[in-house]
Structure 1
Amino acid sequence: MRVRARAYLPYLAGKLGAAAVSLLAVLVTGFFLFRIVPGDPVKAMTHGTPTSAEQLAVLRRQFGLDEPLWRQFTEYCAGALTGDLGTSYQFRAPVGELIAAKLPATLLLTGVAVVLYSAVGLWLGTRSAWRHGRLGDRLHTGVALTLWSVPSFWLGLLLIMTFSVGAGPVPGLFPTGGMESGGTSGFGYVLDVAHHMVLPVLTLVAVGYAQTLLVMRASLLDEMGGDYLTTARAKGLRDAVVRRRHAVPNALLPTVTMVFINLGHVAAGSILVETVFSWPGLGGLFYQALSVPDLPLVQGLFVVFAGAMILMNLLADLLYPFLDPRVAR
């Protein structure tokens, strides 16, 4: 169905305005939230090094921590809106450069995981709903509910103990952490990275597909009692055609939201999974920054994570009218 431009433009303006307000709220929250984290960043940086009160004062002045809170906030907002996320206390490097250096590893890990568990979840969710009540549906739903309730870090540790360290007759097959072993190049490097990715990707897929399956199953079950499906069957259409052309497209709106939220998680990565597997991505970097606390780095990562989610939600909202033109009315 076609989307009328006259109805879509006000809808577009409203969604863009809401996204801008959300981004402003992220900037405000990102600044004040991490100011209440206990700990002195300057003392944490100089931990173990004899430092006088005068030297601590110089460091606070150097990082702008001696300025009034309102001035720190205005400088933080002005820098963030121009792409300047400040300088890391811990690494003494621009936050933007640190994020850019770690981003490819996170995109590789979580990007592969999101594609896999979205595809598996949509496929199994559709089959479970269409054959609801049967053995396969009960089995898939039970497994999904179990995995959805499992903490990702606990599952990751369990996989490490079983398949990395080895358990009983099962030998250690995969590395315990990291992204590469080193000393390889070309196709050997690709295989090495893929070998390191198996367990963290499996952890993310096991937890992520369960959520996608349950959302798709519930959405499709709501559509299955519709009169339009009865009409389609009365026209003589095969059951597979009714499902593919009529039921699934109308059940996609909640699942599209889920998929785009998962795409937003690609930038954020998984802090717990990356930490458990020592994956050199943004999740591990956030954990390092929070332990200091490295305020500019924590704030910069928070803005990037939240900004990715806002962008993906905006794209999902803009796509809705093309799936169902009634949304823009």
Structure 2
Amino acid sequence: MSSTASSTTTTTAAVTRAPGSPDARAAGGGNTTAYLRYAAGKLGSAAVSLFAVLVTSFFLFRIIPGDPVKAMTHGMPTSAEQLATLRRQFGLDLPMWQQFTEYCAAALTGDLGTSYQFHAPVGELIAQKLPATLLLTGVAVVIYSALGLWLGTRSAWRHGGLGDKLNTGVALTLWSVPSFWLGLLLIIVLSVGIGPLPGLFPTGGMESGSETGFAYVLDVAHHMVLPVLTLVAVGYAQTLLVMRSSLLDEMGSDYLTTARAKGLRDDDVRRRHAVPNALLPTVTMVFINLGHVAAGSILVETVFSWPGLGGLFYQALSVPDLPLVQGLFVVFAGAMILMNLLADVLYPLLDPRVGR
């Protein structure tokens, strides 16, 4: 009798918890509700961050020394009346609070203003320079993310060995090197040439200007080698160290011991169990790097005279061209906020414990 009751109870519980049962559907609905609540919270945080970016971009660049109107008319005979007319034309004569409210209202509609020095809409200037930046930094991010993940995994899995020590030492050295200094060093060695070593690559720019068709593609690739190499050298080091540290934290976990006890090969334990659980910090790093794709690298683009957003930002700061600087700052920060939001939304898919 007791056995029959136990069997009935077990069968009832199994039916109740079956995938199509009401309780199972309720549990699934609860998980969906929790995820939507988690995603809504992250979306709200992103909106607050974006508003903070608008506030920061307006006030931060107005404390930069210099008068934009005087900088634009430098070297030209300009009367006080003409200077006042220009200030009125650019809205610089308005009270600060009115400038801020008009700036926020325009930015929320996608209007980033008109550049002082180029006399063109900021959005159009950014759209013109964006493809060059996406090409350069996009290629670099893909290369150094893949390289950092691979080398970081191998270093952690064989930690303490010669390969691990060599990889870690090189990564720490490159991570501490300023990107502009490394770029200048590469120009000296590989562009100008040292002693019998001739210059192999262009010193700057994106193209020679005389190539068409497939020859143009090769010409652009030739100009990309040194700036991409600079970005990869610094970026892969950071990714490697983060991945190595995350995987080392997982190495002593009980589930890895259990997986080995079941007879799984070492490569399967690493690939199917250890690496997926160590990916969360590295996923954050990869998405931050993807956010940098829009921002590019201001210093690297400036050193190599790359015609992207970094060089445009440098030009805008030299005036200062307030609408252009503010617009670029919003685009750079907005890309970072968007990538962080995507990383946060994807976290629960990688680790169901997140967001509960």
Instruction: Give the corresponding residue for 1:240.
Output: 267
Deviations 1:186-223 (A, max 9, x none): 10100000000000000000000000000000000000
1:35 to 59, 62, 65: 62
Counterparts of residues 1-329 of structure 1 (less than 5 Å): 4-329=31-356
Greater RCO (CA < 8 Å, at least 6 residues apart): 1
Tell me how far apart the structure 1 counterparts of residues 48 and 36 of structure 2 sit (CA, whole Å).
Answer: 18
What's the CA shift for 1:103?
A: 0.1
What's the CA shift for 1:183?
A: 1.1
Deviations 1:25-66 (A, max 9, x none): 000000000010000000000001100000000000000000
What's the CA shift for 1:170?
A: 1.2
Tell me how far apart the structure 1 counterparts of residues 196 and 221 of structure 2 sit (CA, whole Å).
Answer: 24
Deviations 1:61-92 (A, max 9, x none): 00000001011001100111100000000100
What's the CA shift for 1:4?
A: 2.3
Q: CA RMSD in A?
A: 1.1
Tell me how far apart the structure 2 counterparts of residues 322 and 40 of structure 1 sit (CA, whole Å).
Answer: 51
Deviations 1:262-290 (A, max 9, x none): 00000000000000000000000000000
User: Which secondary structure state, in structure 2, belongs to the residue aligned with residue 275 of structure 1?
Assistant: helix
Tell me how far apart the structure 1 counterparts of residues 183 and 124 of structure 2 sit (CA, whole Å).
Answer: 29
TM norm structure 2: 0.92
Q: Which has the larger radius of gyration?
A: 2
What's the CA shift for 1:22?
A: 0.1
Tell me how far apart the structure 1 counterparts of residues 355 and 127 of structure 2 sit (CA, whole Å).
Answer: 37
Deviations 1:165-185 (A, max 9, x none): 001221000000000001111
The gaps in structure 2 that reach 5 residues or longer are 1-27
Tell me the amino acid that sits aligned with residue 152 of structure 1.
S
Are the equivalent residues in 2 in contact too, given 1:30–1:299 (CA < 8 A)? yes
What's the CA shift for 1:2?
A: 11
TM norm structure 1: 0.99
The gaps in structure 1 that reach 5 residues or longer are none
User: Which secondary structure state, in structure 2, belongs to the residue aligned with residue 89 of structure 1?
Assistant: coil
Are the equivalent residues in 2 in contact too, given 1:275–1:287 (CA < 8 A)? yes
| Moved beyond 6 Å, runs of 4+ | none
Are the equivalent residues in 2 in contact too, given 1:2–1:322 (CA < 8 A)? no
User: Which secondary structure state, in structure 1, belongs to the residue aligned with residue 191 of structure 2?
Assistant: helix
User: Which secondary structure state, in structure 1, belongs to the residue aligned with residue 198 of structure 2?
Assistant: coil
Tell me how far apart the structure 2 counterparts of residues 278 and 4 of structure 1 sit (CA, whole Å).
Answer: 51
Tell me the amino acid that sits aligned with residue 264 of structure 2.
L
Are the equivalent residues in 2 in contact too, given 1:3–1:325 (CA < 8 A)? no
